[in-house]
Amino acid sequence: MRATGGALYNYPMQLRAIFFDIDNTLFSTSTFAERARENSVDAMLAMGLRCARDDLLRELEETVHEFSSNYEHHYDKLLSRLPLEATIGVNIPLVVAAGVVAYHETKFRELSSYDDVTEVLRVLARTNLVLGVISNGITLKQMEKLIRLRVHRYIDPAAIFISDNVGVAKPNPKLYRRALDRAGIAPGEALYVGDHPINDVDAAKEAGMVTVWNRREGKHVEAQGRLVPDHVIFNFWDLLELVENRMGVSLPLEVEP
């Protein structure tokens, strides 16, 4: 286990809650997105779209980057970016539908949590801690992820806060403050676990929470925020060790990582 300390924090603290980010914290967003986009592009090409596969993938990635992952018309926008000859003689709505179906079939088939996440959440759920979520995104899409990842059973339904519903998004620390206020948890009594040094670590720390940078994988592992995280972990077993050894939370005796 490799949980490490960051900035000094006044211990012991009374830990009452742990809040989690979703994407690239509970599951590998990057790996899933890559597979889903590849499958959707292959499906569109199979419908007669005339474009080199690598070019189509690049255009799709640019579309997602420019319009955000929550944009609802990626594939329509993608086709509008292509040269006219790419779509001559094809049924454009059918091509778009093929891409959408392939993406969602990938989601239904392959969306799963990191191997250690479910087991650690199961252990933490047997303590007196409130387990919650604070995440950016569209509420229904994020709730669907929690269900498909099968982690919803360990999360307190009253402690799930999505920016779409709250009305404030990361990196605004107000998202964290409002979530804590609604949950009735003081900032210093809560951990926040996330992968993004700015959206997660900086913002949660500005809100007064104890921050845990989940530096497992993804595009943010080498990034630097303005503030130093209180702790750094590389997997959820590290988190369990941190909660038990640094926070003094009693864990079920029969559970071993």
Confidence of residue 2 (pLDDT cuts 50, 70, 90): low
Unique residue bearing structure tokens 């630097």: 224
Q: How far apart are CA 147 and CA 164, in angstroms?
A: 18
Largest CA distance in the chain: 69
Which region among 43-57, 109-123, 240-254 has the lowest average model confidence (pLDDT)?
240-254
Domains of the chain and any CATH numbers: 4-27+114-246 (3.40.50.1000), 30-110 (1.10.150.520)
Q: Is the pLDDT of residue 8 over 50?
A: no
pLDDT in tens, 95-109: 999 999 999 899 888
**Mean pLDDT, to the nearest integer, of 134-145?**
95
Q: How does DSSP classify residue 209?
A: P
Q: Is the pLDDT of residue 3 over 80?
A: no
- Strand spans (E) along 28-142: 130-135
pLDDT in tens, 146-194: 999 999 999 999 999 999 999 999 999 999 999 999 999 999 999 999 9
Q: What is the reported pTM?
A: 0.84
Taking Cα atoms as reference points, which of 78, 49, 40, 70 lies closest to residue 170?
70
Task: Using the CB atoms, write b or e for 102-128: b if 16+ within 10 Å.
Answer: bbeebbeeebebbebbbbbbebbeebe
* Beta strands 160-162 and 210-214, pairing class: unpaired
CA distances from 163 to 113, 160, 198, 226 (A): 22, 10, 16, 22
What does the block give as tokens for 129?
A: 């801690």
Q: How far apart are CA 131 and CA 184, in angstroms?
A: 13
